[in-house]
Amino acid sequence: MQALDNWLSQATGVTCHSGKVQPGHIFVAICGRSVDGNSFARAAAERGALAVVSDCPQNLPPLSIPVIAVTNARLTLSALAAAFYKDPSHQLRLTGITGSNGKTTIACMLEHIFLEAGLKAGLIGTIRVNTGKASIPSTLTTPDAVSLQYYLAQMLNNKVTHAAMEVSAQGIDMHRVAHVRFSAGILSNLCADHLDFHGSYASYLAAKAKFLDLLAPAAPLIVNWADANCKAMAAGFSGRVITAALDREADLTAHICRQTAYGCTFTLAINIPFATLAGQSWPIGRHSITLALPGRHNVENALLAAAAALLHNLPPAAIARALATFRSVTRRMDVFHLHGLTVIDDTALNPGSIQAVFDTISLFRYKRLIVVNAIRGHRGTAINAANAATFASIRQKIPFHFIITASSNNVGWADAVTQEERLAFLTTLNRLNTGFTFFSTLAGALKDALGHALPGDLIVLTGAQGMDAGREILTSVANSQTNHDQFPASSSIAALAP
């Protein structure tokens, strides 16, 4: 890095995207999974790059600008970005949140608590980035290293003091957060996910475990103590561990007093004197919390967010007031009504999040249940087979009409469903004797759902990017018809099994 410091002092910026190179930029050539950034080095030079950094210099074309060979280009990119923006995370009270599910809701809850307490807050997550003045739609859960350091620097410029950030296993493995300093960490839960990238569940867990190394020396780790995998992972952490659990023994606990389809009340118990990052201490006590979100998983999310807020010296009463005004996050148990129907829209995309949705459905009153699921695209066959097996298991206990789509019309190529993924999902259902109706398009699947639905029924929309447009399409189709009997029936079915 010392050799790079001289170049960095002359640089006007750092990037790994040749199209973003401006005169004086350092271009870091990343040899990615599908594209070799070294092949764009000449284009970067032509746009005025100061130098090229590469860990595969043998792949570079002849260049008229200096080439700096490094051992790991991604790690170097992270170091350069942090140095260029002067390590902004070191001056923020930044809480990192990792886990398979709940990251987005926890991060948004914590941002809301900070804001309601009168603090200047920031957010980096799956849905959006809040730099304190601007709200920017997200493209990745954890941005690339340069964008991440830029956002953190913007937060400092905008007088942000407290921020919440989602940290994905892929972001950790690709060194996007290698030079981010967290003042506290949250480990929410762990289940099979992103097996296409990590190769195995063990590798996925190993990537998550690297998060522990990113915490500052005095940064505590808040752990969902009810999750066995989280508990096991926390055993490898040498710093302060704060345990939090729903209906389990822990430092902080939650006990649900009342649940409905539209919210719940629970008791937050501080079971030990709770030391804050400022050196103060919250006494043992019990505090009533009202949450306008349904489901045990959302109580867990609120508990973990509350733990982080307590760490940052916010009193329990302020946390309770903030959580009472928190509303649902886009496509996270998003409940709405449509011509006598109740609809739940959730980005359930792995076995854990699918199970959480159906655990919550028991709170709803409905006549019949119709589920429309979008197969997960470009994430591998293993996760899709696991998701199908989860649906099959649930359907043995809760009967529902099952409609499936492998839509590629509403997503980019990176999220399109492959033939192998479609077969993995559908053949798993066939093997487990689970009936379904299949549509190649999302619009066809949603029209069929409306064709079967009667007033008082519950429609559940599940899936990641393939279902992102589901609510808009469903609403458009429903509004175009005033009588459910006029909706198209299942004449456009592409396949039916068994």
* Size of the chain, expressed as the number of residues it contains: 498
What gap in Å lies between CA 423 and CA 69, rounded to an integer? 44
Q: List C-alpha distances in Å: 311 to 173, 241, 278, 462.
A: 28, 12, 8, 34
pLDDT recorded at residue 192:
59
pLDDT recorded at residue 193:
60
Q: Which domains does the chain have, with CATH numbers?
A: 2-83 (3.40.1390.10), 88-324 (3.40.1190.10), 334-497 (3.90.190.20)
Say which residues have a Cβ less than 8 Å from residue 358's Cβ, sequence separation at least 6: 394, 398
What gap in Å lies between CA 311 and CA 41, rounded to an integer? 46
The helix/strand/coil state of 372 is: strand
DSSP 210: G
Strands in 383-470 per DSSP E = 401-405, 436-439, 458-462
The answer to whether 60 and 52 have CB atoms below 8 angstroms apart is yes
Please name the residue that has the structure tokens 């009463």.
Answer: 317
pLDDT recorded at residue 2:
56
Closest CA to 445 of 346, 357, 375: 375
186 class by beta-carbon count within 10 Å (0-12 exposed, 13-18 middle, 19+ buried): buried
pLDDT recorded at residue 485:
47
The answer to whether 433 and 356 have CB atoms below 8 angstroms apart is no
Q: What is the pLDDT along the chain (498 residues), one digit of tens a residue?
A: 656 888 899 999 999 999 999 999 999 999 987 789 999 999 999 999 999 999 999 999 999 999 999 999 999 999 999 999 999 999 999 999 999 899 999 999 999 999 999 999 999 999 999 999 999 999 888 999 999 999 999 999 999 999 999 999 889 989 999 999 999 999 999 875 655 555 677 777 887 888 998 898 899 999 999 999 999 999 989 999 999 999 999 999 999 999 999 999 999 999 999 999 999 999 999 999 999 999 999 999 999 999 999 999 999 999 999 999 999 899 999 999 999 999 999 999 999 999 999 999 999 999 999 999 999 998 889 999 999 999 999 999 999 999 999 987 888 888 899 999 999 999 999 999 999 999 999 999 999 999 999 999 999 999 999 999 999 999 999 998 754 444 443 333 333 332
pLDDT recorded at residue 350:
92
Say which residues have a Cβ less than 8 Å from residue 451's Cβ, sequence separation at least 6: 484, 487, 488, 489, 490
Say which residues have a Cβ less than 8 Å from residue 3's Cβ, sequence separation at least 6: 68
pLDDT recorded at residue 489:
38
In this prediction the pTM is 0.92
Query: Between the CA atoms of 72, 181, 201 and 411, what dihedral angle is there, to the nearest 10 degrees?
Result: -80
Helices (H) and strands (E) in the chain, counts: 16, 24
Query: Beta partners for 371?
Result: 402, 460
345 class by beta-carbon count within 10 Å (0-12 exposed, 13-18 middle, 19+ buried): buried
The helix/strand/coil state of 53 is: strand
3-state per-residue secondary structure call for 400-424: CEEEEECCCCCCCHHHCCCHHHHHH
* Stretch (H or E) spanning 107: helix 103-116
